[in-house]
Chains A and B, each alone.
Chain A
Amino acid sequence: MTVLDHRNQPAEADTVPGWRPGATAPRTDPAPLLPDAEPHRVLGTPAADAADPELLRELYRRLVAGRRYNQQATTLTKQGRLAVYPASTGQEGCQVAAALALRPQDWLFPSYRDTLAVVARGVDPLQALTLLRGDAHTGYDPRATRTAPLCTPLATQVPHAVGLAHAARLAGDDTVALALLGDGGTSEGDFHEGLNFAAVLHAPVVFLVQNNGYAISVPLTRQSAAPTLAHKAVGYGMPGRLVDGNDALAVHQVLTEAVERARSGGGPTLVEALTYRIEAHTNADDATRYRQAEEVEAWQQHDPVRLLEDALRGRGLLDEQLVAGAAEQAEQLAARMRAEFHADPEPDPMSLFAHVYAEPTQQLREQADRLAAELAAEAEVQGR
């Protein structure tokens, strides 16, 4: 028997005869796949009292540092030190909680806004920014932390996550892949193809859509007519879950559940996290052209850091030591970013030819020689 000889177990058999392809096979009941009517919330509810205090503290420290990271990186773009930065301010809870739901053997497939998730996987915070600084396409070794390169085209990383999860399952490994994407990405063909493959292959993969309301300037109502993005799961034959993306504990719970379900052979899950991008799409965008200040202010009242602070305070866990320690860590990170990015990077020009093919072609060797000669001539002129 092969790994792929599996069948999703339908909730009940279809006893109604009638014409349809495969009419003898039982029809799958969509009801168990449907997302809840309201997004899953934990913070501010009695359920939060059961949460592990150390997990809450860890989420808090990482959210505070992540908020500062976003601020500092945005400042660096204004100083011309980063080429561009798509801030995840307001979405820190999604990213940190999602990454913390993974185990070391799992793989993360981030999109360009997911630097905080990448950092939470253990990638050096500055190496996570080299793409956006402009000195390397990927500044980290993806294998070291099992974190794929930040993906710029929308949703194209989704089938990658499926393929990796599929291969891991064939190998008999208990590895799960988590793909992150935004609401805009759900309109892309690769999102559809990836989810369809995942369900058909029964791959151990989880998809987290961070629905922050806008694909650059286009609001969700112009992006999708689905009841929720989580409902899309049903059409592929996988469960859809809806979660408050600013409730870091809820995201962590839903993701942990989905990841462990995938790990134990339960197949893929689509999770939609409702959140909001407080800043513009990137520093190059003017968000005042397409959304109202009142809307931003309303979401600022539902801030992921404040929600977590309130919960910690409610349980007497927000002591002076935690607050000061988290703030200190965040400031140290910001200081390191300022120091590191103050100097202009000096990437080696000859690295242009280093990794195009396993063996460079004759043409590339000639072009490398030409560049080396140009650099030598330049050095000679400067040396005079």
Chain B
Amino acid sequence: MSTVVREQHGLRTGTMAQALNLALRDAMHADKTVHVLGEDVGALGGVFRITDGLTAEFGSDRCLDTPLAEAGILGTAVGMAMYGLRPVVEMQFDAFAYPAMEQLFSHVAKMRNRTAGKLPLPITVRIPYGGGIGGVEHHSDASEAYYAHTPGLHVVTPGTVADAYGLLREAIASDDPVVFLEPKRLYWGKAEWDPAAAVAPIGKAVLRRPGTSAVLVTYGPSLPVCLEAAEAAKAEGWDLAVLDLRSLVPFDEATACEVVRSLGRAVVVHEAAGFGGAGAEIAARLTEKCFHHLAAPVLRVTGFDIPYPPPMLEHHHLPGVDRILDAVARLQWEE
């Protein structure tokens, strides 16, 4: 992995969208091989403005407005990466990435392996993902399990503004392909952060809140929900820890197991459908590795096993504080 050069910007207050934009700008300044491409990333600056100003600053060769075709965008990025560039691809919305799945699964994920390391593909695939913004059909899918199930891909998702900047810089610098899932509903949340401050690398989970009773294991869009639930749980006598995985692949088993073993109780929280979801993998793994330390089964709080609902109903689907607290109550396991 190449070293990430962090520019000195100083402490600032900003949104996750601004942090991502700065990460792209800084990465393009630091490394001339970084090229951004996607539909609407140029003059418009992306529908979420994550690529705002990049074409003006770096030119249309470095930030390229492409024809509207996701397989073509990602397939073109494969060839660019084969020639030595570091493409950063924008998929406009989570469900719009599906036409590019074949390129992602059959080529991006496998090229290093099938060429015995001769053609690594340092591609970052940015995907605005998840619900909670009132998007209509095809604009709110939580698709992380598809990517996490495909060997050869890294799958990361930031839950804080600082992490959005740091993780994206790490993703672009990574010599492996990274699926970078951007929680849409966190785009506009402001926080104070310092781009020059180091963040944990890809593959390292971070304990966002210590606790003594149980741990909520989560990532991306569900992180603020879990932190809120942990605060609310105090009234019921629970002191909940919150572990932010940040990266599903690689999965930081060591940190997760350490926390779960010390507390004995864990709830995995994500908004994607539960069946065959990332939570199923995490719960199974924690149970296998920490069985004798568990005072209760590892529980899951997830979205329902339904196609993403219409916006008027999505609040019933997305795990909220109450549903998490309900699961925490069930951790008071009695035979």
Chain A residues with a Cβ under 8 A of chain B: 2-5, 107, 136-138, 141-143, 148-149, 153, 156, 158-168, 170-171, 175, 177, 189-190, 192-194, 196-197, 200-201, 351, 354-359, 361-363
Using known A-B contacts A163-B79, A166-B80, A356-B152, determine if residue A363 contacts B250 with beta carbons closer than 8 Å: yes
Nearest chain B CB to A335 CB, angstrom units: 28
**How many Å lie between the Cα of A193 and that of B102 in the bound state?**
13
For the complex of A and B, 6 pairs with smallest distance between CB atoms: A163-B79, A159-B75, A193-B72, A137-B114, A164-B79, A167-B83
Known interface pairs A193-B75, A356-B113, A361-B203; A141-B251 also in contact (CB < 8 Å): no
24 contacts across the A-B interface (CB closer than 8 A): A2-B59, A137-B113, A138-B116, A142-B118, A143-B119, A160-B78, A162-B76, A163-B80, A164-B80, A167-B79, A167-B82, A170-B61, A171-B83, A175-B83, A190-B75, A197-B66, A197-B69, A356-B112, A357-B154, A358-B1, A358-B112, A358-B174, A358-B175, A361-B251
Q: Are A166 and B76 in contact (CB under 8 A)?
A: yes
Q: Which residue of B lies closest to A190 (CB)?
A: B71
Residue from B64, B82, B120 within 8 A of A148 (CB atoms): B82
Q: How far is the CA of A177 from the CA of B80 in the complex (A)?
A: 12
Residues facing A in B68-110 (CB within 8 A) are 69, 71-72, 74-85, 87, 99, 102-103, 106-107, 110
Q: Which residues of A contact B1 (CB under 8 A)?
A: 358-359
Whether A138 pairs with B115 at a CB distance below 8 angstroms is: yes
Residue of A153, A201, A358 near B106 (CB, 8 A) is A153
Asked if A162 contacts B118 (CB within 8 A), the reply is: no
The answer on a CB contact under 8 Å between B250 and A197 is no
Return the chain B residue nearest A205 by Cβ: B79
With A4-B61, A4-B64, A356-B112 as known contacts, state yes or no: A363 contacts B251, CB within 8 Å: yes
Complex interface: chain A residues within 8 A of B72 (CB): 159, 162, 190, 193-194, 196-197
**CB-CB nearest in chain B for A148:** B82
Which residues in B have their C-beta under 8 angstroms from that of A166? 76, 79-80
B194 within 8 A of A: no
Q: Is B231 an interface residue, CB under 8 A from the partner?
A: no
Indicate which residue in B59, B60, B106, B174 contacts A156 across the interface (CB closer than 8 Å).
B106
Give the number of residues in B that approach A within 8 Å (Cβ atoms): 51
A197 to B85, CA, bound (A): 18
Chain A residues contacting B174 (CB-CB under 8 Å) are: 358
B152: which of A162, A177, A193, A357 is its contact (CB, 8 Å)? A357
B282 CB-CB contact with A under 8 Å? no
Contact between A177 and B79, CB atoms less than 8 A apart = yes
Within 8 A of A (CB), among B244-281: 249-251, 253-254
**Assembled-state Cα–Cα distance A153/B102 (Å):** 9
Q: Is there a chain A Cβ closer than 8 Å to B10's Cβ?
A: no
Q: B247 — nearest CB in chain A belongs to which residue?
A: A361
Partner of A196, one of B61, B67, B115: B67
B151 at the binding interface (Cβ < 8 Å): yes
CB pair A142–B79 under 8 Å, yes or no, is no
- Known contacts being A358-B175, A358-B176, is A167 close to B251, with CB within 8 Å? no
One of A107, A161, A163, A358 near B120 (C-beta < 8 A) = A358
A160 touches B79 (CB 8 A): yes
B237 at the interface (CB under 8 A from A): no
Q: How far apart sit A236 and B107, CA to CA, in the bound complex (Å)?
A: 25
Min distance, Cβ B142 to any Cβ of chain A, angstroms: 22
Residues of A within 8 A of B250 (CB): 357, 361-363
Among the listed A156, A193, A357, A362, which residue makes an inter-chain contact with B67, where contact means beta carbons less than 8 Å apart? A193
Judge whether A168 and B119 touch: CB under 8 Å.
no
Residues of B within 8 A of A175 (CB): 83
Q: Report how far A196 CA is from B66 CA in the complex, Å.
A: 10
Contacts of B60 in A (CB 8 A): 2, 4-5
A355→B117 contact, CB < 8 A: yes
Instruction: Give Cα A338–Cα B87 distance, bound, in whole angstroms.
Output: 43
A255 to B85, CA, bound (A): 28
- How far is A177 from B83 in the complex, measured between Cα atoms in Å? 11
- The answer for the CA separation of A194 and B66 in the assembled complex, in Å, is 12
Please, which residues of chain B bring their CB within 8 A of the CB of A167? Answer: 79-80, 82-85
B74, B76, B83: which has the most chain A beta carbons within 10 Å? B76
Closest Cβ of chain B to A200, distance in Å, is 6
CA distance A2 to B111 in the complex (A): 30
Q: Do A163 and B78 have beta carbons less than 8 Å apart?
A: yes
- Determine the chain B residues whose CB is within 8 A of the CB of A361 once the complex forms: 203, 249-251
- Flag if B115 contacts A149 (CB, 8 Å): yes
Q: Which of A137, A158, A351, A357 contacts B75 (CB 8 A)?
A: A158
Q: Are B151 and A356 in contact (CB-based, < 8 A)?
A: yes
Let me know if A362 and B151 touch, CB within 8 A. Answer: no
Q: Mark B126-159, 1 if CB is under 8 A from A, else 0.
A: 0000000000000000000000000110100000
Give the docked Cα–Cα distance between A12 and B174 (Å): 48
A148 to B111, CA, bound (A): 10
Contacts of B110 in A (CB 8 A): 137
Count chain B CB atoms within 10 A of each CB in A141, A143, A357 and give the residue with the most: A357
Which residues on the B side are within 8 Å of A4 (C-beta)? Answer: 60-61, 64
B257 to chain A, nearest CB (A): 11
A158, B82: Cα distance in complex, Å: 13
B-side contacts of A356, CB under 8 Å: 112-113, 151-152
A299 to B181, CA, bound (A): 53
Bound-state Cα–Cα, A194 to B175, Å? 25
Query: Which of B61, B71, B115, B254 is the one whose CB lies under 8 Å from A193?
Result: B71
* Distance of A15 Cα from B51 Cα, bound (Å): 38
